[in-house]
Amino acid sequence: RTGARVERLPLARFTTLGVGGEAEVWFVETHAQLAEAMEVPYRILGGGSNLVVADEGVPERVVRLSGPFAERDLSPDPLLSTPEQLVTGWVGGGVPLPGLIRTLQKLGLSNLEGTVGIPAQVGGAVWMNAGTRYGEMFDGLHTLEIVTPQGARQVTPDDLGWGYRQSGIPRGHIVTRVRLKLRPSTPEAVLEKMSAADQARKGQPKMKTPGCAFKNPGGVSAGRLIDEAGLKGTRIGQAMIAPEHANFIVNLGGASAADVHGLLALIRERVGVPLELEYELWP
């Protein structure tokens, strides 16, 4: 009724792991289309860079932010900006994060350069406060628009209980757009801060993967714990614990979700401390 484009598609196409069966994907471009999509059980798909989707797909509608929800207005808001802090116009939740981070560097705008190399969309990165030890999404957020089946509301980071790899936003509440708060700097200075975070990625695998499998327990590298358990290079089917970094599971080509689940179970069995999953398992 609201004209959203709807297609049955394999989710493998939308995930960095390259795994996942079919679902009904709703490409929403307006708040009205989003409201219609949310009338029945739904899931929100971002860059698919933290997802392990079942080979059977998912029965729920899958919402994908498109059109204006994937556009960005980086011009300074005249009322909210000061010489020390630039507050942008709206940046859509469907905007790819890597391109945004590159543009901010060229503009000499600081605060988010620590998130370089995270292949997410803005909404997904905000929802889990993606980051590295050089910085995280909440370093650069001024206002968030969040949509639920009950409607849209605007919040500030202070309204949320955010922390390491968590925003405090309940699952299924959709981050449709945000305003960024940035510190005016120079392209050179931003690039220099970025290269440290870039350097830390050199030891990460280049193959298809959904990033780190587990959160770091109490600040200790989960990768290191899995490595010490002797699990690097372990394979189940076409999924493998990366030889480069043990907290990454890679798809050797044709892996199934079950292969990945098998490795996750093996890691939990072999590592002595409880590990909290960073991935999302669908369903």
Through-space distance between the first and last CA atoms of the chain, rounded to whole angstroms? 27
Number of residues this chain uses to bind ligand EPU (CB under 6 A): 17
Interface residues for ligand EPU in 171-200 (CB under 6 A)? Answer: 200
Report the partner that residue 133 touches, choosing among ligand FAD, ligand EPU, none (CB closer than 5 to 8 A by kind).
ligand EPU
CB 31 within 8 A of CB 147: yes
> For ligand FAD, which is the closer residue by CB, 228 or 280?
280
Maximal CA-CA distance, the chain: 56
- Element holding 250 (H helix, E strand): strand 249-251
Look up tokens 């960073």; give the residue. 278
> For ligand FAD, which is the closer residue by CB, 170 or 272?
170
Residues assigned a catalytic role: 165, 212, 278
* Residue 201: both structure tokens together: 């990625």
* Residue 182: both structure tokens together: 């940035």
Quote the CA–CA distance of 18 and 249 in Å, as a whole number: 12
Residue 175 in contact with ligand FAD, rule: CB under 6 A: yes
CB 55 within 8 A of CB 20: yes
Quote the CA–CA distance of 270 and 276 in Å, as a whole number: 14
Residue 30 in contact with ligand FAD, rule: CB under 6 A: no
* Least gap, CB of 184 to ligand FAD (angstroms): 25
Report the partner that residue 57 touches, choosing among ligand FAD, ligand EPU, none (CB closer than 5 to 8 A by kind).
none
> For ligand EPU, which is the closer residue by CB, 67 or 205?
205
- Element holding 183 (H helix, E strand): strand 174-184
Quote the CA–CA distance of 237 and 239 in Å, as a whole number: 6
Binds ligand FAD (CB under 6 A): choice among 27, 127, 138, 162: 127
Helices within the chain (DSSP H only): 31-37, 97-106, 122-127, 187-199, 222-228, 257-270
Lateral strand order in the sheet of 61-65: 5-10, 22-28, 61-65, 42-45
> For ligand EPU, which is the closer residue by CB, 220 or 265?
220
The bridge status of strand 135-136 relative to strand 131-132 is antiparallel
Report the partner that residue 12 touches, choosing among ligand FAD, ligand EPU, none (CB closer than 5 to 8 A by kind).
none
Binds ligand EPU (CB under 6 A): choice among 173, 215, 261, 270: 215
Residue 260 in contact with ligand FAD, rule: CB under 6 A: no
Binds ligand EPU (CB under 6 A): choice among 16, 88, 129, 216: 216
Interface residues for ligand EPU in 100-119 (CB under 6 A)? Answer: none
Binds ligand FAD (CB under 6 A): choice among 120, 141, 160, 257: 120
Interface residues toward ligand FAD, by CB under 6 A:
16, 43-51, 65, 93, 118-121, 123-125, 127-128, 130-132, 165, 171, 174-175, 209-211, 280
Interface residues toward ligand EPU, by CB under 6 A:
132-133, 200, 203, 211-212, 215-216, 221-224, 227, 245-247, 278
